[in-house]
Copies of this chain bind each other. A is one copy, B any other.
Amino acid sequence: MNTIYITRRETFNGAHKLWQEEWSEEKNWEVFGKCSNKNWHGHNFQLFVTVKGVPDENTGFVMNLKTLSQILKEKVIEPLDHKNLNLDVPFFKGKMASTENLAIAIWDEIYDIIAKNGGELAKIKLVETENNYVNYYGGKEPF
């Protein structure tokens, strides 16, 4: 079977800070450094979502990228874009706002709806800066 992987990129701009409520300001500074600035900082995030499948005979598509893009815009970009990741995002409330945790939360938010649309979510890559990014595979083996 010709299993293949398609990837869609979307972007969003958000503010956040790394801050552990149960720690002192000193401890937060020691661990998170300037990322703990109480007045926030922000990033141009790039999200790459990879879906796995076999190309359909009629369309040549694993999944229509228009559909995938609409799902991402509604479920991820709308709640995150031009938002404060610590304060404004229903599906991310109360979590440490690390890129790792955000990637996992995005996975959980879109896995089922992608499945309902005939795709299988395979990988999320979340790029925070040109020097830092994370990959998540739903806890499964990476690729």
Contacts and interface: CB of A to CB of B under 8 A. Distances in A.
B18 A15 contact: no
A117 interface: no
A77 to B, nearest CB: 11
A40 B37 contact: no
Nearest to A55: B100
Contacts of A122: 142
Contact of A83 (B8, B37, B129, B136): B37
Contact of A2 (B7, B62, B99, B104): B104
A90 interface: no
A contact face: mostly helix, strand, loop, or mixed: mixed
A65 B97 CA distance: 15
26 contacts: A2-B104, A3-B142, A4-B136, A6-B99, A6-B134, A7-B134, A11-B129, A13-B42, A13-B129, A16-B42, A23-B58, A31-B64, A33-B66, A34-B81, A34-B82, A37-B82, A37-B84, A39-B83, A39-B88, A40-B42, A41-B81, A41-B82, A43-B44, A52-B142, A55-B96, A60-B100
Give the 8 A-B residue pairs with the shortest CB-CB distance, closest first: A42-B42, A60-B98, A60-B96, A39-B84, A142-B143, A34-B82, A15-B40, A15-B15
Given A15-B39, A61-B100, 5 more contacts: A4-B103, A23-B58, A40-B40, A42-B43, A43-B44
